[in-house]
A and B are shown apart, each in its own frame.
Chain A
Amino acid sequence: MIKIFLAFVRKELFHILRDPRTLAILFGMPVALVLIFGYTVTNEFKDASVAIFNEANDDLSYQLVDHLTASGHLKLVTSVRTTAELEQAFQSNQVKMGIVIPAGFEDDFFRQRKADVQLIADATEPNYATTLTSYARQMIATFQQNQNGTSGVQPYQVSTEIRMFYNPQLEGAYNFVPGTVALILMLICAMMTSLTIAKEKETGTMDLLLVSPLPPIVIILGKVTPYAILSFIDAIIVLFLGYYLFDVPVRGSLVLLLALVLLYLLVALALGVLISTKAPTQQTAMMTSMFALLMPTMLLSGFLFPIASMPSLLQYISKIIPAKYFIQIEQAIMLKAAGWDAVAFPALILFIMLIVLLTAAWRNFQVVYK
């Protein structure tokens, strides 16, 4: 049986290797997505328009403004005198970020050794907003360092307070790598498996396989195994690219992360098999995967839009999107260095989903037609 299974997997690999389009999706897509999300969505910005609300009007505050705008990344568009004016600037989409320097900035800094700066960002574009504020924060940190000189001790502090306009929670927006991994795995495991099984139905080869003594489980496993392996490799490629190109770290346990990647991958595979049991043609399989899997994974998982800012109906729907839990897991492990305890709950939900989907797929797989 092992020999037959391997023969099956080999045949499947031939299909994949001989179809340039499949290859492009398998290996071109992950790289393309990482690069697209990495460069366009988050990282680079130039001449971001900024408003300054300087209530202090002292030397140090001017120095700070100079320092912030010197790099050329932030462009001072307007100086405002009231909060209302600031809000007006946001609403007219004149500026993307406001820097508020409260009265008595210099005094606080030197006397109390601690001064506040407030950064207000337009979070309708959450990724952009986070990138802007974290850049400004970095600049303020270097400003503080310059003021302290090279003494080593840091007696004087500028604490930055960040406020997001319009989308205060801003959860999940920053990290595109976890989202991309979730999307790629869903794309390859679920969509590609459902397509490849539907193709066998469409060409009639599924009938030939069914009338052979092959147990159905071997047919299914033989079809999904190559895709499982390839998508696992894809996940590693995405993590690798994220790390080297965009400094997205894996702070927690890599082994734990990969183990849970495997779990999510199985959920996606089960979904793919389930779709293919119902879809008679590749076209149906394609449409179903698009609407039932890819769109929700992109839109409702918290990957592109924060769940907290969705209408409550969509928030409820997001609870059944596997990618939501997987992204949570990834963020916890990669960014917060969380251990098993912290991710046990979402992992358990994924596991339950897996069992339910497998049962449904198994029941629907027709050994004989009705």
Chain B
Amino acid sequence: MGAVKIEHISKSFGDQSALKDINLDIAAGTLFGLIGPDGAGKSTLFKILTSLLIPDDGKATVAGLDTVADYKQIRRIIGYMPGKFSLYQDLTVEENLNFFATIFGTTIEENYHLIKDIYVQIEPFRKRRAGKLSGGMKQKLALCCALIHEPEVLFLDEPTTGVDAVSRAEFWDMLQRLKEHGITIIVSTPYMDEASRCEEIALIQNGQILQVDTPDNIRESYEQPLYAVKATSFYQLIKDLRAAPFTKRVEPFGEYLHLTTSGYFPEEAIYNLLKEKHHEQIEVKRIDATIEDVFLELAG
């Protein structure tokens, strides 16, 4: 059974269109990633799915319940972690957790098995005010609070934004383990490199879904030849490659440039051209596309 089904959802704020005809089907038990930059419409979609926001058009169901008509039932079975840290900064870790357990009519003990893995990491600080926790700790506490009533579907809106690399890695590990409890997890993130941690992803930009598939399938969908190129003078390299006859696109990708050509060219051809332009320490290699390459292609 589908955990989340979205049909033709649209939403505008004034004359700003936030979501345009969104369709999505998410199977129960999936770790699903909604991937796109700030302002793509991720949070708006989450608010609609968590029944906080009414769509202008279309219909969405969560665990078979309509997000508008059955909002009361939906609110019992979902867990929601909003984009920014939304706990009480002046309450302690324990007080926050207790409070959210109580308003959902449960206790920490009852669902301890679910949060145990995560909670043990913040338990030493349980008397500390939430506002005094580090970014990674806050995020763990927020996750505990969202899980405390054993939700069927968990919505995590940009949980890893503003969190350092270590905490991000740990967080994704935690989500993998949670999945084993049979919870459907829907995560949004602006970081393309997190896509591979999901079973299925949707790329979203400007309120539109660009593509939905497994990360591997999405990577393989990139059909043109792709090269990573490097030389000492980066700015010149970009200019020279853009001017080259075979070039379709050049994008900076960290220490390399990603060069998409309009047909296969041997690496030597590219190398020689750059040599002629007096570049130094040239490196050219054929590579497989990343999610980000696909995103740039689709969004561009």
Contacts and interface: CB of A to CB of B under 8 A. Distances in A.
Interface of A: 3-4, 7-8, 11, 14-15, 18-19, 203-205, 207-214, 367-370
Interface of B: 47, 50-54, 68, 71-72, 75-76, 78, 80, 82-91, 95, 98-100, 102-105, 129, 145, 149
B105 A208 contact: no
B84 A212 contact: no
Contacts of B78: 211
A369 B86 contact: no
Contacts of B87: 205, 208
Nearest to A203: B86
A175 to B, nearest CB: 39
B10 to A, nearest CB: 14
Contacts of B71: 367-368
Given A7-B99, A11-B88, A369 B54 contact: yes
Contacts of A14: 90-91, 95
30 contacts: A4-B103, A4-B105, A7-B102, A8-B99, A11-B88, A11-B99, A14-B90, A15-B90, A19-B90, A204-B84, A205-B87, A207-B47, A207-B50, A207-B52, A207-B80, A208-B82, A208-B87, A209-B103, A210-B75, A211-B51, A211-B52, A211-B80, A212-B103, A212-B104, A213-B104, A368-B51, A368-B52, A368-B71, A369-B52, A369-B53
A interface secondary structure, majority: helix
A3 B50 CA distance: 25
B91 A11 contact: yes
Contacts of B83: 204
A8 B50 contact: no
B53 A203 contact: no
B76 A213 contact: yes
Contacts of B129: 18
Contacts of A7: 98-99, 102-103
B202 to A, nearest CB: 22
A10 to B, nearest CB: 8
Contacts of A204: 82-86
B42 to A, nearest CB: 15
A115 to B, nearest CB: 68
B168 to A, nearest CB: 21
B94 to A, nearest CB: 12
Most buried by B among A11, A208, A214: A208
A203 B89 contact: yes
Contacts of A15: 88, 90-91
